[in-house]
Amino acid sequence: MNKHFLKMGITVAILCAAAGAYVGNKRLEPKPPVDSAVQQLMSLTLKDSKGQAQALKQWQSKFLVVNFWATWCKPCVQEMPELVALQKDLASQNVQLLGIGIDSPSNISEFAEKYQISYPLFAAGMEGTSLSGAMGNKAGGLPFTVLISSNGQIVKSYFGKLKMDELKADIQKLNTK
């Protein structure tokens, strides 16, 4: 009986992982964002990877790259090293990368420590799913990234694993305006 439940549990876990990988790698065109989505984001206070509550409004005067992700999302994890390198490159350009985890605080904390993530990661749980939806993520898949101007406007949305050259070019355009 226990072996049956174990096999069933493993099968369900594999199917969920496969579905997440499929959706995470599938390119869909994001729908236009809801007008209040950035204000909703900036009004949040979330726990960071160290368990400290942080008000996201502290970054509202910067260009933001907001990456919605999860520890169980393979494409999300694959793009993390590039995002760490990107934040190092952007540190002097008034651009801040924020990771909004659709996951538990403990999973995000363990992940940040294990992979030495150098930009702020926050635990949003399922609230992050509705927030990413408000920002244009109609499929609800991960990763989902949003580029926000310093005046609080969504400039561009990226569904699926990021193409870093495209993101860097878009950031460069913002910095030259």
Q: Which CATH number fits domain 2-175: 3.40.50.12780, 3.40.30.10, 3.40.50.10140, 3.30.1860.10?
A: 3.40.30.10
Task: Tell me the pLDDT of the chain (177 aa) as tens digits.
Answer: 566 545 555 554 455 555 555 555 555 555 444 458 999 999 999 999 999 999 999 998 899 999 999 999 999 999 999 999 999 988 888 899 999 999 999 999 999 999 999 999 999 999 999 999 999 999 999 999 999 998 899 999 999 999 999 999 999 988 776
Which regions of the chain does DSSP assign to beta strands (E)? 45-48, 53-55, 63-69, 95-101, 121-123, 144-148, 154-159
Domain limits of the chain?
A: 2-175
